[in-house]
Amino acid sequence: MARILGIDPGSRITGFGIVEIEAGQCRYVTSGCIRIQPTSLAEKLQQIYDNLSEVIRQYHPTEAAIEQVFMAKNADSALKLGQARGVAIVAAATHALSVAEYSARQIKQAVVGHGGADKSQVQHMVMSLLQLSAKPQADAADGLAVALCHANTMQSLIAQLGANKRRRGRIR
């Protein structure tokens, strides 16, 4: 069984979602948004670290995945996003979680089926794939989408390894 923490980092709101994979099935565990209080940069980063650490302690994920930084038009925004991302990675690493990284396009491709999907399409597919009764908040849905992307990647690798193993067994 794998329990994956997906993180959508942000300097104002950091979304997260946890899914569990067992026997090829993906199950919703939890999701939410860490709303950062407007304080100094150091205090904002501490809020992200503390809140993600609490989520990790409470739900015990076995690995983490995070969205990569995109090139923003505003250099200051890209820098702040990179700092939030770095703190999220440190929170996961501090709790001995491996961290996979995916681009926004990879995440949307894995969850929606095309890399140019918008936020509402991601929310809808996350709701559908995890059989949720209501649409999750946009940032929480993004965190769940990151986790689903990683789950999809893991399952594809496992299937590929199994196929390679079977193939090697036949050729002697």
| Residue numbers belonging to the annotated binding site | 8, 67, 139
Catalytic residue, from 20, 63, 139, 142: name it. 139
**In the chain, what is the greatest distance between 2 CA atoms, to the nearest angstrom?**
65
Residue 85 in contact with residue 69, Cβ under 8 Å?
Answer: yes
Catalytic residue, from 50, 54, 63, 67: name it. 67
Residue 5 in contact with residue 63, Cβ under 8 Å?
Answer: yes
Active site residue 76: no
Active site residue 139: yes
Q: Which of 41, 33, 107, 38 is nearest to 76 (CA)?
A: 41
The angle formed by the CA atoms of residues 68, 116 and 101, to the nearest 5 degrees, is 20
Active site residue 8: yes
Catalytic residue, from 8, 20, 63, 142: name it. 8
Catalytic residues: 8, 67, 139
